[in-house]
Amino acid sequence: MSTAVLPTQIQPRSPQGGFVNEPFTDFKTPENERAIRAALEKVALEMGREYTLVIGGDRVKTTDKIRSLNPAKPSQVVGVHQKAGAEHAEQAMAAALRAFELWSRASTDERVSLLLNAADLIRQRKFELMAWLTYEVGKNWAEADADVGETIDFLEFYAREAVRLARATTPIQYPGERNELLYIPLGVGAVIPPWNFPFAIMAGMTAAAIVTGNTVVLKPSSDAPTIAAKFVEILEEAGMPDGVVNFCPGSGSAFGNAIVEHPKTRFIAFTGSKAVGLEIHERAAKTMPGQIWIKRTILEMGGKDSILVCEDADLDAAIEGVVASAFGFSGQKCSACSRAIVEAPVYDVFVERLRERVARLTVGDPAADPSMGPVVNKAALESMLRYVEIGKKEGRLIAGGNAPQTADGGYFLEPTVFSEIPPNGVLAQEEIFGPVLAVIKVNSFTEGLEVANNTEYGLTGGVYTSDRERLKIARREYHVGNLYFNRKCTGAMVGAHPFGGFNMSGTDSKAGGPDYLLLFTQAKSVAERL
């Protein structure tokens, strides 16, 4: 195995100015439309390439493979990846530990510069990376653009936060002493990202870990390993030393569990389902022989999110917000609106106008930029169709419900809406993670808040009302990590909307916020008598 060395090619850089979000791409501009179409054509010619594991800088091949497929055309292989097993966990850990000895001692400027260099490279390849997202997970142009933009935002934001953290000090200087408060890295961490934001969340968790001096074993989702491989290539080009990030696609039951349980693993950053998150939390809590610390878990586990539409709401705005939140990226967001809670006086009008608005959505190959592309895989589609059948028994189907058949066998589901769903019904309580919306009638704002809070989750929520008193009450009583008034409940922006939820939605880690890097560090107080 190669040994880790600090990069000589990285020239220390400081972030320029304050943080500003990456602008969205206007695809109505002919230049941008040509650019994304050209990128899609270019990437189409590169699909099917085989990628290796990257462990301590070494390229490793395995007998078992993971094939990433285009969910719009499942016969099309996006990338062929090695499948790390339990036997690779020790190799990856050893490489990460070696790298940690040097990387943890690198200056803040060096670590910050790595993120800034990577952000620059991503900007230069923005359309190409969008195209990979379109093919690998079925994002239309706007959703792919948002994913790439958020990736850049995380890198730029965490670079600035690392500089700020390095300047931290104690609240007072005790007389006769020099007092310091240092935030030092934890060690080797497992980063286990989801498939639905396979660039932004993957890169964000990884960047937060390494900019604070940790090293990482990265196990991307088996549905989206290719975009993670592209990110690791970018980090290497940006000057990352060997072993700082070790790229290891593999199964959760074999490689994932081995890394989570390893006595040298210091923390696990995970985004995904409640079931898997709780299993990781439980495994991490068990002290293994030779382990000298309590492992830290940073978990974001999903939601059952609601938008409450009051009788005094601007219905046009509310319908647009609900539709965008429920059906953006085919509802495959932990922040997606899966429940519209509507006050009785406007319920019937809302339902009818919602049905008309949903009818205008288009479903198709995301490369052609419809409103909605496919869902991620066959198992997900089959699960959603089971919920559709439950919805037909619990309520009234007012839109969608069908899985359109295509010549390429893509995994498509129409935007689906059920009205008359009871607040405690299956569709009102279980996370579907697809384009299925339950509309629930309530008799008052107070009842609406009670319904909004009646799930085990607490991630995002929204309220549409013109009543300032109701907004004041919702601020206090609506129990979610990200609450939005008179706007959609998806689309958290780095810096403006620190993201993470309560209860079974996770540890409220607040990605993209001023507290996030603290989760990847430990504080050390130093006092020197003068």
Catalytic residues: 300, 334
In sequence order, the 6+-apart residues with CB closer than 8 A to the CB of 304 are 338, 339, 428, 429, 430, 431, 455, 456, 457
Structure tokens at 204: 């964000």
Residue 107 CA to residue 456 CA, distance in Å, equals: 43
Residue 183 CA to residue 103 CA, distance in Å, equals: 15
Cβ atoms of 314 and 464 within 8 Å: the answer is yes
Q: If you ran DSSP here, which 8-state letter would residue 527 be given?
A: E
Structure tokens at 62: 């395995």
> Directed axis angle between helix 445-452 and helix 468-477, to 10°?
30
396 bridge partner residues: 419
H-helix or E-strand spanning residue 480: none
Cβ atoms of 384 and 414 within 8 Å: the answer is no
* Closest CA relative to residue 166, chosen from 524, 527, 529: 524
DSSP string, 40-107: HHHHHHHTTEEE-EEETTEEE--SSEEEEEETTEEEEEEEEEE-B-HHHHHHHHHHHHHHHHHHTTS-
306 phi, psi to nearest 5 deg: -125, 150
Q: If you ran DSSP here, which 8-state letter would residue 21 be given?
A: P
